[in-house]
Amino acid sequence: MNIAIDKRLAELTEADRRLLLERRPTGEDDLRDAVRALIAEVRREGDAALLRMARDFDGIELDALEVPRAAWDDALASLDPDTRVQLERAARNIEHFHRAQIPADIEVETEPGVRLGRRALPLPAVGVYAPGGRAAYPSSVLMGVVPARAAGVPEIVVCSPPGPSGAPPAEVLAACAIGGATRLFALGGAGAVAALAYGTASVPRVEAIVGPGNQWVTEAKRQVAGELRIDSPAGPSEVLVVAAPSADPERVAQELLAQAEHDPEAAVAAVTRDRALLDRIREATARQLATAPRREVAEEAFARRGAFLLAESHEEALAFAEAYAAEHLSLMTDDPRADLETQTTAGTVFLGGASSVAFGDYMTGANHVLPTSGRSRSFSGLSVLEFLRFHTWQELSADAAAALEEGTARLATAEGLPAHAAAARGAGGTPANGPRVR
């Protein structure tokens, strides 16, 4: 088994630290230009460009871009019953957790008679991207659609790449029905993002685009971000395991392999202060990898961005985790609740060996759409807030207006805005000419 970095933290070179901490995709400049061209094609040619992209990139001749609702219903009816039960269970948990995130409207009085409020309102339409290609991801459908529905969004449009049938996989169609999507399009990559951002004859324009995807999807979301809201840029999956000497090396290896099988660009790392444990983790990982169904993908991930790291102390391991800013941080430590207080940069933190990242990927109700590449230092994971907008209201009594008029007029005059001063005095009861009317 080839590992990109296998050494002490104290021995990391500057190149090692860049590989571990920056985790940037290769060929970004070329990708940026290619995505810009694809977006321009969709804006210029609309559906014709999308149909051409399906042929060129997916190898599919589409008769129509939209997948009819009857196809969702058929997919749901034919879905394995046990799989349906678990998808419905996951949807319930996601809705439960995300409904709890909806902020209450507020109303405060800042001075006597000056009442201010803020209201949360759902966006009118959102787009949810569900990746395809190497695997079907109905869980990603639920992670985008269910929170949007919980927020009260009336139009929830899903885009997912077409499979050989011309539609996304049946599991994705079934998840759209379970989650409560309103429309589904067999669209993938940068073209799907452009269609959602600008609209075409078939695809409606939306006010936000969320969901994970490959480099093309992430770059397209970044380029349209000035036109509408996007969630955090999400690239290949990541996990960092901080392991105390008491940690089970088999469990650590399982967590690493679970994320490595996602993508050859996945970043997987373990750090511990115990050399003997690190040796056992290395051995367990090699043994599990040898029989893994997605061995080739995982092996490439370990060779590109895998790391087994030895810390001088538990504190050094935690400090590295804070610097690493992982998408998924697993604390297999003696007191994970206490260690959680030292971590502020991870996308989501899993406390203890029983708290597998896999549970968060599917079943717990927390969202698995999370910032990667260290972006959790400034971005948050997908939440119900991505589907809400807020506005404020202000109401002043006549007495409050009279009390504020001179102070407001003084500030407006200082800024050279006499009409502001006049408006304040007029609202406070002082007419443009003449004595104040009370």
Residue range 410-432: average pLDDT?
A: 94
Taking a C-beta distance cutoff of 8 angstroms, is the pair 332, 247 a contact?
A: yes
pLDDT given at position 437: 46
Rounded-to-integer distance, Cα 228 and Cα 206, Å = 8
Mean pLDDT of the chain, nearest integer: 95
- Give the global pTM: 0.92
* Tens digits of residue pLDDT in 157-181: 999 999 998 999 999 999 999 999 9
Taking a C-beta distance cutoff of 8 angstroms, is the pair 294, 261 a contact?
A: yes
Tell me the pLDDT band of 432, cut-offs 50, 70 and 90.
low
Instruction: Provide DSSP, 207-234.
Output: SEEE----HHHHHHHHHHTTTSEE----
**Structural domains in the chain plus CATH codes:** 28-104+120-231 (3.40.50.1980), 235-377 (3.40.50.1980), 397-438 (no CATH)
- pLDDT-above-90 percentage for the chain: 90
Asked if the model's pLDDT at residue 232 lies above 90, the reply is no
Query: What does residue 420 show for φ and ψ, rounded to 5 degrees?
Result: -60, -45
Pairing of strands 229-230, 388-396: unpaired
Asked if the model's pLDDT at residue 23 lies above 90, the reply is no
Asked if the model's pLDDT at residue 236 lies above 90, the reply is no
Count of beta carbons in the 10 Å neighbourhood of residue 392: 9
Residue range 372-376: average pLDDT?
A: 91
* Tens digits of residue pLDDT in 199-224: 999 999 999 999 998 889 999 999 99
For residue 257, what are the contacts with CB-CB under 8 A and spacing of at least 6? Answer: 268, 285, 288, 289, 292, 298
* Tens digits of residue pLDDT in 284-330: 999 999 999 999 999 999 999 999 999 999 999 999 999 999 999 99
Instruction: Provide DSSP, 322-335.
Output: HHH--SEEEEESS-
Residue range 12-38: average pLDDT?
A: 89
Tell me the pLDDT band of 438, cut-offs 50, 70 and 90.
very low
Residue whose pair of structure tokens reads 């969202």 in the numeric block: 367
Active site residues: 327-328
